Structure 1
Amino acid sequence: MSEWLEERRRVLLTAQQLLEKRLTVGSSGNVSQRVGAELLAITPNRRYTEDLTPADIVIATFEGDVVDGDGIPSSELMLHVGVYQARPEVQAVIHAHPRYVSAVAMTGRPIPPILEDQMIYLGGQIEVAAHAMSGSDELAAAAVLALGERNACLLANHGALAVGRDLRAALYACEYLEKLCLAFLWASLLGDPDVLPPEVVETEQAFFRMMQRTESELVGARIRR
């Protein structure tokens, strides 16, 4: 366990913060961090977060084999793996069930570019992944498609998927998504929210992509060292 103790501690802390920030409930939701090239540290399946210790965080391969830990990896393991395989720059993945995200996810409606921080930190219009059974390869494929190059997406009738260069960035992406969904719901009560002008969308998406490339290069440099 000592070999991956720091990674396990970070994953557990993030899972605890999800609970504290009311972004998930009970044993729902899951958190992972990439460990090296083809391993990840991930929360165990159906365990109450407040009962977990670092030793309960599972180290698994991208094929789903447990390398270290006595628990069973989250049932959404392949959702996390799918993101890591499609997005090499991503170092952390969070799947949660925030209340306002869940409400918008039930509508099946994407969230158009309506807020500045949505564009800068999440990357643009928030898409909705087609519904599929939890833990299935179909859900993983649909989520990766909806996520694209952005840092968050909705899972239809399910919840949120957020990613980042580290666990803190992924957690903030989850919070930004919840804030956005709340704003979208309230604005929709007054009519259709105004969409940002096309030239603003284009500029801010270019800025987001530039920042993503910079972060990807920094991650690559750390891995090579």
Structure 2
Amino acid sequence: MAEPDPPFTEEQLKTDAVSKKEILQFVQEHASIKFLREHKIYGKLASIAKCTKKDALVVAYQKLFELKAFKKEGEEEEEAEEGAKKDVKKVTKKMEKVGLAAKGAAKEKEEPRYTKKILKKGDGSTFPRKGDTVGCFYKGTLSDGTVFDTNMGGSKKKKGGGDPLKFKVGTGKVIRGWDEALLTMTLGEKAELVIEPIWAYGKKGLPEGKIPPNSTLTFEVELVSID
């Protein structure tokens, strides 16, 4: 690309005969990208002209010819390609964010995979929040009525033997059916929860707990404390 001749004289630059916008436009059209960035005049012409003093633009104009920092052949194409790549990255990131938001929304709208029947009403106002430590008495049965675990009535089976089971609710410490259902209960409430396999122990079941694969589980749960 041939080097341009100076379009403005020194006298013109000192007067209002040449505007900031005219100087900036010439420099942006003919200077290398590196030069523009070094002088902080790379970007939208109107925005830069608005916030840059004329003296600074005159200096950049003079330096352009002094250093012969003109745009090289093909630089525009390279810059356009680089810009296109950045645009693609921006769009991709935006799509990823939209996708994550959609997944989050889908999760929020997901239908409960359990049913709840209140056996005894609680106080009606004291609900646990995610992260609260709750205490529960419970009894779990399989579809055929087999009790696989309980801490009710002074039982000596696992998980308590008469003491409330305590854990932080809503944090994945127990099966999802419990995490979700307990957040709907109030202090003192007793409920029957019928939990589908997907929100219980799923396809694998829990062999050590004598819970077969794909088991729908029924729990009698009483919420006795919230800390």
TM-score (norm 2): 0.20
TM-score (norm 1): 0.20
Q: Larger helix proportion, structure 1 or 2?
A: 1
